[in-house]
Amino acid sequence: MSDRPVQRRPGGRTARNRESVLRATADLLLSEGYDQLTIARVAAAAQVAETTVYRRWRTKAHLAADALSELARDENPIPDTGTLEGDLRALLTQVIALVERPEVKRVILTVVSLAAEDSDVVRAKDAFWETRFAGAAALVKRAVERGELPTGADPYELIEDLAAPVYFRLLVTGRPLDGRLVDRAVGLALSRQGIRATSEPERRASPSVDR
């Protein structure tokens, strides 16, 4: 074996280590919370050397952000249903299912409160959202190609319109994240783009159902 640094190859040892570390991080985060997360515990759980973790992730905030990005990618993949409305509805339904899990909600609340004072957390949070918005850009691109959105439609604005009411209820008012909210948020995001939701022929006409 050579002494050169290990090259990153898909399916190689580096990739396997990365996967183990991120899985161990997500497990620890969700079971014990961000406060209890340490790189030493992650390394032990993933059966790798601590230096292996530090080589790739400078701080536990960055490690946590990457682990949460993986979790979001796995459990909330960017949908491709064939219509913008279908995609937004599927995306938001998945987001709600994810953030309502008590252990996920706890991590979100911790990150929110830490972001006030810890610049590593702020940077890690920014990186997490960049990844998510990059995923949403693919969804918007498909809608532009289908002629549903004008060229230059802004993925950030669309996702903000869609997700903001969910986080407002989750973090601020505590109102329920129900199917009615999905209808409203999808309708709001679409109406902002000049599109009327097909599933909302009569706004407020009927109580919502989960789809």
Which residues make up the interface to its own copies (CB under 8 A)?
A: 105-106, 109-110, 112-113, 115-116, 122, 125-126, 129, 154, 156-157, 160-161, 163-165, 167-169, 171-175, 184, 187-188, 191-192, 204
The residue length of the chain stands at: 211
Longest Cα–Cα distance in the chain = 70
Tokens at residue 196, please? 């009327």
- Residue closer to its own copies by CB (options 51, 173) is 173
CB atoms within 10 A of CB 7: 8
Distance of CA 137 to the CA centre of its chain: 14
- Residue closer to its own copies by CB (options 144, 188) is 188
Least distance (Å) between residue 152 CB and its own copies: 8
Least distance (Å) between residue 46 CB and its own copies: 28
Q: Hey, what amino acid is at 103? A: E
Least distance (Å) between residue 69 CB and its own copies: 14
Least distance (Å) between residue 33 CB and its own copies: 10
Which SS3 state, helix, strand or coil, does residue 150 take?
coil
- Residue closer to its own copies by CB (options 74, 157) is 157
Degrees, nearest 5: CA angle 107-99-97: 150
- Residue closer to its own copies by CB (options 55, 184) is 184
Contact 19, 12 (CB under 8 A): no
Distances from the Cα of 28 to the Cα of 35, 42, 108, 178, angstroms: 10, 8, 14, 29
- Residue closer to its own copies by CB (options 46, 189) is 189
Least distance (Å) between residue 67 CB and its own copies: 18
